[in-house]
Amino acid sequence: MIDYIIIGAGLAGVVMAERIATQLNKKVLIIEKRNHIGGNCYDFKDENNILIHKYGPHLFHTNNKKVINYLSKFTEWDIYSHEVLASIDGKKVPIPFNINTLYEVFPKSKAKTLEDKLLQTYSYNSKIPILELKKSTDKDLQFLADFVYENIFLNYTAKQWGMKPEDIDCTVTARVPIFVGRDNRYFYDKYQMLPKNGYTKMIENMLNHKNIKIMTNTDFKEICTLKEKEFYFFDSKFEGQIIYTGQIDELFDYKFGNLQYRSAEMKFETIEKEYYQEKATVNYPNDYEFTRITEFKHIHPSNSKKTTILKEYPQEYKKNQNTPYYPVFTKENQNIYNKYLANSRDINNLLLVGRLAEYKYYDMDDIIERTLAVYEKELYV
């Protein structure tokens, strides 16, 4: 007897399953296409005994105490503050571009002028999107905006998204600001930490309940069928609730067209030395085909004499060939999504949640907050 079918074992599906199993005491079946749980948060120890993130670095940061309290039931934490460098003209400097970076790349007198102008114009410790700074009428701030745009933002964004920054939704470009302060950390949230034994272990703890069953290596369409407005499970009409966290266009057989995503090829390398680079992540905006290199020993310390690095090569998402990481926010894609969303509302026992199902970019804390809210609104009685 199954009360709920959850499609996808990423964070959205896992949080839903945990809440339903423990709070509603209902039976849940999770169907996952991959051979593991955890979605893009999946981590494991490699042959060098280093904990690596299979789908790129996942750094947990939040200001939401409710999210911290929820996850703390399933893991202890290690404090971790992420720092990122960018390679500019052969020199590695802190980003987001901040006051410290000014003095790394410009002569002292020029850096002081720019610092004074920033502090006169903006609040200390504020974040200014680069495209906003480019609108400044001050010639020094225009100079700074043009420098950051050309040397850090333009080519990195072009590689990451395959388009010009001006063609990308402002919610994406706002994620690459200038920081009017001296804090070299990449994130400024109140809570910055990592699950002590990794994300996979935390998620295993969340799913460790007698009411939860999991099928990995299984495409949901192998056992579930959507006919007209009703779901069938192994050819029998399913009267319970379907919670779908996958690609919404795939659910409806691409009837309104394909939604666009960006993907990346992840290339891991073993390096025969203790450490490869100065910080966990170094971005390469202008050189090489990859966007960044992450060294996981900076994130998860290890006694290994070797180190593991990851180079990320952005690429277009191709169905059944690579992983859809980031929705591409254009008006055309939003219009297509709206058609699928309207179609989904005709199905009474279907609930959509998650980055792929909602075609939105969520950080980890955002998706947990969102899933808990959907659970409380739609399912909790």
Give the model confidence (pLDDT) of 188-211 as tens digits: 999 999 999 999 999 999 999 999
Q: Is the domain of 209 the same as that of 343?
A: yes
Mean pLDDT across the chain: 94
Do 253 and 372 fall within a single domain? Answer: yes
The reply to whether 137 and 167 lie within a common domain is yes
Q: What angle do CA 54, 208, 47 make, to 5 degrees?
A: 30
Same domain, 100 and 143: yes
Per-residue pLDDT, 297: 97
Which of the 8 DSSP states describes residue 165? G
| Residue 353 and residue 240 in one domain | yes
Q: Identify the burial level of 50 via C-beta atoms within 10 angstroms of its C-beta, where 0-12 means exposed, 13-18 middle and 19 or more buried.
A: buried
* pLDDT tens sequence across 98-131: 999 999 999 999 999 999 999 999 999 999 988 8
Q: What tokens does 42 get?
A: 């999946």
Residue 172 has pLDDT above 70, yes or no: no
Q: Is the pLDDT of residue 159 over 70?
A: yes
DSSP string, 214-265: EE-S--GGGTEEEETTEEEETTEE--SEEEE-S-HHHHTTTTT-PPPEEEEE
Q: Kindly state the average pLDDT of the residues 213-236.
A: 94
Indicate if the pLDDT at residue 134 is higher than 90.
no
- What does the pLDDT read at residue 162? 84
Average pLDDT over residues 220-247: 94
Q: Is residue 170 scored above 70 in pLDDT?
A: no
Q: Count the domains in the chain.
A: 2
The domain containing residue 116 runs over which residues? 95-180
Residue 87 located in a structural domain: no
Q: Using CA atoms, how far apart are residues 298 and 308, in angstroms rounded to an integer?
A: 10
Which residues are CB-neighbours of 97 under 8 A, at least 6 positions away? 148, 152, 178, 179
Q: Is the pLDDT of residue 308 over 70?
A: yes
Q: Is the pLDDT of residue 165 over 80?
A: no
For 333, half-sphere exposure in the C-beta direction (CA atoms, 13 angstrom radius) is 18
**Residue 173: band (very low, low, confident or very high) from pLDDT cuts 50, 70, 90:** low
What's the burial of 52, exposed, middle or buried (CB within 10 Å: 0-12/13-18/19+)? buried
